[in-house]
Structure formats: C-alpha cells, structure tokens
Amino acid sequence: MIIDCHGHYTTEPPQHLQWREQQTEAHSKRKPAPPRPSISDDEIRETIMGSQVRLQSERGTGLTIFSPRAAGMGHHLGDASTSEAWSSACNELIHRVCRLFPRNFIGAGMLPQSPGVSPRNCITELERCVNEYGFVGVNLNPDPSGGYWTDPPLSDPHWYPVYEKLVELSVPAMIHVSYACNPAYHTTGSHYLNGDTTAFMQLMTSSVFRDFPDLKLIIPHGGGAVPYHWGRFRGLAQAMKLADLTEHLLKNIYFDTCVYHLPGQELLAKVIPVDNILFASEMIGAVPGVDPETGHNFDDTKRYIDQLPLSAADKAKIFEGNARRVFSRLTQQIERQSAMAPVEASS
C-alpha cells in the first residue's frame, strides 16, 4: 500500500465555503452566525470521485491521510468561538468523507486555534477527532496570526498543553500554517515554506523533545529550507553547542515528500535519513499544474520517489512503513475502516 500522509479536502462542497464567509461576516457585524448548511452524502461523494479518488487510481496511491484545507483554516479570522465552530464543521466533513470512502481516506484534524488563545483551548476538539472520529493526526499551526507571528514560538511552554495531549493520545502533529493575511508573504510560495523552516529552528533551539521525548512532529513541504541548507543548521547547532541534529531532532521530527521536482527529492533523500521521510503529495493543493519539462503534474510525487536510487526496502519505508510507524494509530484504523462497508449512494 502507498500511503499519502498529506492530503487536504480542497474540493469541498461550495455551501460549506459559503457558510464560512457568512460566519466570518456575521462575526465582523457582531451578529450570530447562520446555521450550518445541509450537505448530503451524495454531494460529498460528487466532490471526491472525480478529483481525489480519480487521481489516487491514476497515480497508484492507495490511501490518503486527509485533513481540512490548510489555507482555509484561517485561524486569524474571528475569535476563539469562531474557530471552534469552523473547526468542528471542517472535521465533521472529513469524518463523513472517511465514512463514504473508508479505504481511500483516514482523517487528520484541524484545531480551533486563535491568536493569543492558549492551545489548551484545542484539547476538546483534538480528543473528539481521535476518540470519536478515529483520526490519526492533526495539523498544528505555529502562526495563528496568519503571517505576523504574534504567538510564542513552538519552544515556549505556551504550546505544552497540546504537546502533552498529543503524546497522551499517541498521535503526531503536522506543523502547517494557514493562509497569510500579511501582504509581505505569498501563502504557498513563501509563508508555507517560511513556517516549515521557522518551526524547525524554534524546535532546534528548544528543550521540547527533552520534555516530550515521545512527541512526533511532521514538517511538510520537504521541510521548507531545512534539508537544502542542512549544513547551515548543523553549523548553527554546533555554534550553539547543541547536540548533533540527528540525535537532537531526528528521533522526533519527520519530513514529507511534497517537493515538486526530482532534484529536490534526490537531495531530500540524500540528506535526510530514509527513516525520517514520509511519502506525500498534497494533491489537489498548492501546485496542481502540469510541469512542461516532464509532461506530468508537479504534485505527482510518486514518480519522483520511483526514480530515486534507493533500495526497494527503503522505498517501502517512504511509501508505507514510516507512515505506519509515525502515525501509531494508523494500522489499527486501516483495519477498522477496511472492515466498514462504504455508505451507499442515494437512489
């Protein structure tokens, strides 16, 4: 089985997005939000069959760990109660996708973060995602302000309540910012990669993994700048008299393969140990177009892994084994969902 650890519901029903606009507009006018829209199973099925499921089949990937649209998290919009309602709606939609397509998708949750609000506020939704929905991970936004970085760094005890709960539940978090409201940053071209790199540096200069030795964090998009400037980070760690990065961080930090050209994948696999690389594509997401140099989609990342000069055993780790190890609830959830009958379409 090939497991894509990084997928977002980017084809969600239009009424879901319309409700979000109505919700945030109501907050700005200090009015109650309208009731959430009714969305049928058939409407959800229609948004998935011709997009995600079709591409899984065409590209030969078997299962996607699926979460709400990252750019749509918008934690800077509204207040804590706005984020709570939006996160609940998004996570429920992911759960319904997993019920409709139990062999194609396993859920990962969105947390109801809000600038200046303790991550402790996320615990109830985190527990619901894992204990009620069977989700195997969550996305954690290191910058709920949307590009202004007003919250404490990930090294700060501000984040410890959510780290503690992640360890207790034995689920990893993917470090993933949302869209940038700061005009200095392009969301996918700079803010995402800045967020990945910044998170790594914050963790590198922290005691987080001494305090939480069982915490598992995934840095997406190939780790931002990190693997491609590995010497810089090793040199900084040495100057700061930190432990070697392999010992200091790579027992807890993992990188995905959302790198959209072969040379980048080659460097990632050369610099980062195979045990720390998880297959991912983020389809249909940040870079959905066709690369004119190859004739294939930029985000068809399986093609790049297939071409790497790695053994079959190492490729099996990237494609499946590492995901099962890092997402420690994944194998059990695969078995549980494999036994489920997909929800039938309405007649």
Within 8 A by CB and 6+ apart from 300, the residues are 59, 281, 283
Give dist(CA 117, CA 129) in Å, integer: 20
Give the dihedral sign, CA 216/217/221/225.
negative
Give dist(CA 45, CA 53) in Å, integer: 10
DSSP 277: E
Give dist(CA 149, CA 184) in Å, integer: 13
**What b-and-e string marks burial along 49-84, b requiring 16 or more CB atoms within 10 Å of the CB?**
eeebbebbeebebebbbbbbbbbbbbbbbbebebbb
| Contact between 80 and 121 (Cβ < 8 Å) | yes
E strand intervals along the chain: 3-9, 63-68, 105-110, 137-140, 173-175, 217-219, 253-256, 277-278
Please say if 282 is a catalytic residue: yes
Instruction: Classify burial at 346, counting beta carbons within 10 Å of its beta carbon; exposed 0-12, middle 13-18, buried 19 or more.
Output: exposed
Given the residues 282, 320, 335, 344, the one annotated as active site: 282
So which residues are the catalytic ones? 282
